[in-house]
Amino acid sequence: MSNETLPQLQAPLTINWAINNSCNFACSHCYSREDTHEELPRDVLYSSLEKVAKAGVFSINFGGGEPLLHPHLLEIAAFASGLGLRVSMNSNGWLIDQAKAAELKQAGFTKVGISIDSHRAEVHDSFRGVKGSHARALAALDHLREAGITTSISTVICRINSTTIDELVAVALDKRVGQLNFHNFKCSGLGMANKDDLDLTPAEWKDFYRAAIAAKHTVKDLDISLDDPIIALLDARDAGTLVKGSVCGKLSLNIKANGDMTPCGFIPIVIGNIVRDDLRQVWKDSAVLEKMRNKQPTGKCSGCSKYDDCLGGCTARALALTGDMNSPDPHCWGN
């Protein structure tokens, strides 16, 4: 009675929503720094959230920018959770003290992810351009947990941290987070400009994933999440995963501060606007989403035995670096 395949979903299950684009940090890998600063007025945002809830979306993950710099974040989150949406966010943690954590809980946040780039404070601080940010990010994890919010750590893997898996795991265990997310490096925004300094070579990616998968299998009491389809090359994708390849445009969608919808935060193609357009219609009819859902193997993917699982890897990365969604993921170390 359960199926191997997903039905044609009428709407995304989850939406990553950048409600603002202001930030108090200056990270070298930021994908959105150069993005729009136009923000939706509160009443328009509210009616957009109503639209999203009505379309059947389960959850909203607020991002940005730094969502806590939005003056009305708490009211907006409370409004969204009042509509039955599950609300979470990603933050740099700077503004989360004990009182703020309690307010976030009150507003309905069930999960908050904090970005940590390194176990070493000086590395994290210099990468983020703000002294003391590491200490405050760690403190935020404590405040959130004590307020009853499930926490996670998000780490974008790049040159400064790819060989420190054990140390990052130790931080996650120490802070008793629910999940440690190792995100692949996307090469969008500043990530593209700083690619040569930050990105790993395919061989280094292979080493990183080998070690991360080993940690995933040995570390108890911590969910280590790897969202990169190319781990299919190491036979590490969970059997029975309903979605092959990237989940973007299949389960999730991204909305920018001005309401523009894009397949994911790292693909800068606008496929509609939440204020103007019907979400279900865009989800169903967008030619861009259609292309992402029906990728065709090109180049080395054509003969690859992992294609059914991997579907050419991360579509955002392929598009950013080659201009073609169907190109093999540039991080792929396969032949």
Binding site for another protein (CB under 8 A): 1-10, 13, 56, 58-59, 86, 223, 225, 242, 251
Q: Tokens standing for 155?
A: 């780490």
Opening angle at CA 206, ends 204 and 208, nearest 5 = 70
Q: Where are the beta strands (DSSP E) in 106-240?
A: 109-115, 150-156, 179-183, 223-226
Main-chain phi, psi angles of 109, to 5 degrees? -65, 130
Q: Which does 265 bind (CB under 5 to 8 A by kind): ligand SF4, another protein, none?
A: none
Which of 45, 80, 87, 301 lies at the binding interface for ligand SF4 (CB under 6 A)? Answer: 301
Q: Which does 46 bind (CB under 5 to 8 A by kind): another protein, ligand SF4, none?
A: none
Write down the least CB distance from residue 16 to ligand SF4, Å: 23
Write down the least CB distance from residue 124 to another protein, Å: 26
Element holding 124 (H helix, E strand):
helix 121-128
86 or 300: CB nearest ligand SF4: 300
6 or 135: CB nearest another protein: 6
Residue 64 binding ligand SF4, by CB under 6 A: no
Residue 144 binding ligand SF4, by CB under 6 A: no
**Contact between residue 90 and residue 131 where contact means Cβ atoms under 8 Å apart:** no
Residue 332 binding ligand SF4, by CB under 6 A: yes
**Contact between residue 233 and residue 332 where contact means Cβ atoms under 8 Å apart:** yes
Write down the least CB distance from residue 57 to another protein, Å: 9
Which of 233, 271, 319, 320 lies at the binding interface for ligand SF4 (CB under 6 A)? Answer: 233
53 or 234: CB nearest ligand SF4: 234
Q: Which does 334 bind (CB under 5 to 8 A by kind): ligand SF4, another protein, none?
A: ligand SF4
Q: Which does 318 bind (CB under 5 to 8 A by kind): another protein, ligand SF4, none?
A: none
Q: What's the CA gap between 214 and 77, in Å, rounded?
A: 37
**Contact between residue 263 and residue 254 where contact means Cβ atoms under 8 Å apart:** yes
Q: Is 41 helix (H, G, I), strand (E, B) or coil?
A: coil
Which of 115, 306, 315, 325 lies at the binding interface for ligand SF4 (CB under 6 A)? Answer: 306
Characterize 207-244 residue by residue with b for buried, 16 or more Cβ atoms within 10 angstroms of its Cβ, and e for exposed.
ebbeebbebbeebeebebebebbbbbbeebbeeeeeeb
Q: Which does 294 bind (CB under 5 to 8 A by kind): another protein, ligand SF4, none?
A: none
Q: What's the CA gap between 77 and 206, in Å, rounded?
A: 39
Write down the least CB distance from residue 5 to another protein, Å: 6
